[in-house]
Amino acid sequence: MLPATELVVGRMYALGAFGSGADAAAVLAMVTAAVVIALLRGQQVSCGCLGKVWER
């Protein structure tokens, strides 16, 4: 559900549907919380942003 929310908010923000970045900041807070929870559970978090460059 989180990726879908990110896409919707990103698209609306790009189209100028938001007056401020409050909604984008809320999505960023949700993503940050999800990463923190995963790290606290001992899971390895990989965004895949740089492909195999950062893989261990």
Q: For 1-56, where are the E strands, in sequence order?
A: none
pLDDT digits (tens, 9 = 90+) for 12-55: 878 877 656 777 788 788 888 988 898 899 887 776 665 555 55
Cα distances (Å, whole numbers) of residue 27 to 2, 3, 6, 21, 32:
8, 10, 7, 10, 9
Single pTM value for the model = 0.57
Residue 6's region, left for phi above 0, alpha for psi from -120 to 50, else beta, is: alpha
Name the 3-class secondary structure at 51: coil
The tokens for 53 are: 């460059």
